[in-house]
Structure 1
Amino acid sequence: MPRSASRTVTLVALGALLTCTVVVMVASWASPESYSPARLSWPNAHLLLGWARYDAGWYADIATRGYWYTPGEQSPVAFFPAYPVVIRGLGALGVDTFIAGVLLTLVCGLSAVVLFTRWASLLKGEEVARDAGLLLVLYPFAYYLYGAMYSDALFLLLVVGAFYLLERGQLVPAVLLAAVATAARPVAPALVFGLLVRRLEWKRQRGERWSFWDALPVLAALGLIVYVLYLWHAFGEPFAFAKVQSAAGWDQKPGWRTWFKVRWFQGFNASMSVGDGLRLVGHAAFSLGALALVWPTAKRLGWGYGAYVLAMVGMPTLSSKDFMGMGRYLLASFPLFLTLALLLRERPRLRWGVLATSAVLLISLAAAYGAGAYVS
């Protein structure tokens, strides 16, 4: 294994080990009632279940019971199928559903970071790739790559893999991976748009003429299309995943109240706790910071990556009522970490300050998540 790759693997392993240790320790101190939907019978199972919280219950239900849809009520159709399908496959091999979800996230998350550094090295060299990998490993919401039972790690692995293959000129495999990715998260337009623009830009940079085959990235939407057709066949509502967002408790109905973040402003009141205030401000700050990096990304990495990041950040920012979850969603906007690494290369003190602050936030948020706090 090359020295740079070995250092990357070591770094990722240490970050994951530290974060997992924090979550397990906090979970061991927390009360059993705080544990999420998961229940296991083997001794000390709760130590692992610090990773199984909130949406983990939805993924487990889909993996074991399948989908159902009740108009106007929270339903599992809001969650795309790729992640729970893999969990179901592991369950068929005898692996407990929640253990399967945690292990799937861990394997995909570590693989995604390693592949990310290879992609970054391909574009900007090994030294910058190392810095970018470190920024990703220590990103405050990177614990979603180390065990949290959510689909973000799988999605990141797929999208990084798609762009990595695209950079190597392997268009068909890139589109196939991207099609699986659009069955994991409802952001098909961002991925299709980014791949298409980057493919055309890639051909132009090599002095090659565009051809009919360069439009192949539009087929990356097949994952979304298949899910839409399934919902239409099963429930008579092809866009049930979008309509269910208006259900009580989620309250994210498309419209001006969501677009202009009325709920976010309403969250600031006299009864607001310090934690609620930090959560509201924090996710909004991450969103605005990511949007501020769109133009530098386009300048340094190309219009394809700029287009991808703009759509990948803009879609959830617009559709969220209060920016909640944006810190986690930004993991998919992986070119931002390379852009930030490039911007910090000439500012070593600032770079170390960013890394130290990020590491402290990562451990703090992982501890809060392990204790059952709603942080993202």
Structure 2
Amino acid sequence: MISVTAERRDDLQRRLPVVAVGAFVVVGVLTTVVAVLAFAAAGPEDGFTFLDGPGWLDAWFHGDSGWYYGIADQGYFYVPGSQSSVAFFPAYPLAVYGVGLLLGGDWSTAAGLVTLVSAAGTVALFADWVRTRVSPRTAVVAVVLLLVYPYSFFLYGSGYSDAFFMLSALGSFALLERRHYVLAALVGVIATGGRPVGIAVLVGLVVRALELIAEERSARGDRPLPWRDLVAAVPLVRWRQLVLLLSGAGLAGWMVFLGVRFGDPLAFLAVQEAPGWNQGSGPYTWFKVVFIGTLVKGIWANIALLVPQALACLVAVLLLPTVWRRFGWGYAAFAFVTLAIPIIGTKDFMGAGRYVLSAYPVFAAAAVVLVEGRRPRWLLPAVLVVLLVGLCGATVAFAHGVEVS
């Protein structure tokens, strides 16, 4: 009986990426049905009258999807002091443009298809990553947590860049683990050219490379390496590891383009202060004056949108020590930077919910806490039910044109 059970567990571990993609399809169908029903009641947003793709994809086309559509259709523009498309990094809209050309210029359908394919790849790579690092049950729970996280609705067909960025981030780390340094750097270029937090991929790749060198010299087993081992690994770095620094070329190339085209290599930062976005930098943003003011004034509509995202950030930050203990310095560094940029850079946590999604090691850490710790048996089912209800609720709100995250 023990051998049969162990064999089944090993088989599940081997097949987890395929099973995970199947689960992604199931949850994707569920959320799409919810989105379509909500979209039928609400209709397209103002200005989105161009939608003529499949109804089940049009239901996911809201919010910033319009910006990506405009970039694919007409290119970038920058008007200092006004909301401009340069706020959105180029990797995803370039992919949308390429697919859209094959579809005869149907950019909205292309955006949804790029997201779906990227999300399926993301789920498969996440399952492949987590299955080799935790027990089979914990790995399954980690995948489920990723799929039913309330802000994971961005993976199921939206015209947003989240799935595409996650695929590039997971892909670059997967290639690094297999010692394909040049390929890891090239995929890392896509990541740093995909979002402002793409710099976290560069940081994570460098730290993870040092960690791999140190692990080859150490007999510490699964225990996290001390900093001195990482420092001792620096003199052992060779050109094949240094090539990872080229992953920053995505961000560098974007800045060069902005400098040549618009005369401001940091236009993507400057435009955040434009009226309507009002996302400036400085103490007013760092100390969340707007968020605190929303709570004090009791603006309940905004509180319902912002507090869940703030809580998601808090939980993710609390999980960082578990990420470090179980998955090492490289993944902890990646998750830390991925979380730090939106947490510090947002005035009220708006958008932070989906940025937590990009810090994928925290979902594995959450599974470790829920499964391997001494927790009441009811806790895991309760958490999954709450998350699933939140996913459906967020999907309905998004399909009604509400800026959920």
Fold shared by both chains (TM-score > 0.5): yes
* Residue 42 of structure 2, aligned match among 30, 37, 49: 30
Q: Which residue of 2 aligns with 1:365?
A: 394
Report the secondary structure of 1:156's partner residue.
helix
Q: Which amino acid aligns with 2:399?
A: G
Q: Which amino acid aligns with 2:34?
A: V
Q: Is the 8 A contact 1:38 1:57 kept in 2?
A: no
Instruction: Decide which moves more: 239-248 or 172-181.
Output: 172-181
Task: Supply the distance in 2 between the matched residues of 1:286 and 1:41 (Cα, whole angstroms).
Answer: 35
Q: What is residue 11 of structure 1 aligned with on the other side?
A: 23
Deviations 1:174-224 (A, max 9, x none): 111111111110123321111111111112112286223323322111000
For the 8 Å contact 1:109–1:145, the answer to whether it is kept is: yes
Q: Structure 1 residues 35, 126: CA separation in 2 closer, same or farther (over 3 Å shift)?
A: farther
2:161 paired residue number: 151
Q: Tell me the SS of whatever aligns to 1:150.
A: coil
Aligned in 2, Cα 1:224/1:297: closer, same or farther, shift over 3 Å?
A: same
Runs (5+) with no aligned partner, structure 1:
none
Matched residue SS, 1:51: coil
- My pick for the range that moved more, 356-365 or 210-219, is 210-219
The separation in 1 between residues aligned to 2:176 and 2:31, in whole angstroms, is: 32
1:72 equivalent in structure 2: 81
Residue 7 of structure 1, CA deviation: 2.3
**1:131 aligned counterpart, secondary structure:** helix
The equivalent of 2:360 in structure 1 is 334
Q: Is contact 1:317–1:326 with CA below 8 Å preserved after alignment?
A: yes
Q: Residue 36 and residue 18 in structure 1: after superposition, are their counterparts in 2 closer, same or farther (change >3 A)?
A: farther
Amino acid at match of 1:265: I
Q: Runs of 4 or more off by more than 6 Å in structure 1?
A: none
Once the two structures are superposed, residues 296-316 of structure 1 have per-residue CA deviations (whole angstroms, 9 ceiling, x without a partner) of 211111111111111110111
Q: Which residue of 2 aligns with 1:111?
A: 121
Contact 2:80 2:271 in 1 (8 A): yes
Residues 309 and 336 of structure 1 are in contact (CA less than 8 Å); yes or no, is this contact kept in structure 2?
yes
Once the two structures are TM-superposed, the CA of residue 252 in structure 1 deviates from its matched residue by 1.1
**Distance (whole Å) between structure 1 residues aligned to residue 49 and residue 119 of structure 2:** 21
Structure 1-normalised TM-score?
0.94
Query: Which one of the candidate residues 228, 239, 254 is aligned to 2:281?
Result: 254
Percent of aligned positions with the same letter in both sequences? 38
The size of the alignment, in residue pairs, is: 372
270 and 314 in structure 1: CA distance in 2 versus 1, 3 angstrom threshold: closer
Q: Deviations over 1:145-191 (max 9, x none)?
A: 00111000000011011111212222221111111111110123321
2:99 to 73, 76, 90: 90
| Partner residue, 1:290 | 316
CA distance in 2, matches of 1:125, 1:166: 23
**1:188 corresponds to which letter in structure 2?**
G
Structure showing greater Rg: 2
Give the AA of the match of 1:338.
Answer: A
Give the conservation status (yes or no) of the 8 Å contact 1:28–1:46: no
1:61 to 56, 70, 74: 70
Partner of 1:141, secondary structure, is: helix
Match of 2:347 in 1: 321
Per the alignment, do residues 269 and 38 of structure 1 end up closer, same or farther by CA in structure 2, a change over 3 Å counting? farther
SS at match of 2:48: coil
In 1: Cα distance, 2:29 partner to 2:163 partner: 16
The 2-side partners of 1:236 and 1:3 are apart by: 51
- Residue identity in the other structure for 1:342: V
Could you tell me how far apart the structure 2 residues matched to 1:87 and 1:236 are? Answer: 26
Is 161-170 or 201-210 further displaced after alignment?
Answer: 201-210
Using the alignment, how far apart are the partners of 2:39 and 2:382 within structure 1? 29
Partner of residue 226, structure 2: none
* 1:9-34 alpha-carbon deviations (Å, 9 max, x no partner): 221111111111110111111144x3
Separation (CA, whole Å) in 2 of partners of 1:147 and 1:188:
22
> Structure 2 matches for 1:119-268, cutoff 5 A?
119-207=129-217, 210-213=236-239, 214-268=241-295
**1:270 CA drift (Å):** 4.7
Deviation at 1:118, TM superposition (A): 0.4
Equivalent residue for 1:302, pick from 306, 328, 342: 328
Could you tell me which amino acid in structure 2 is paired with residue 61 of structure 1? G
8 Å Cα contact 1:38/1:49 also seen in 2: no
- Secondary structure of 2:217's match? coil
Q: Establish whether residue 353 from structure 1 lines up as the match of residue 378 from structure 2.
A: no
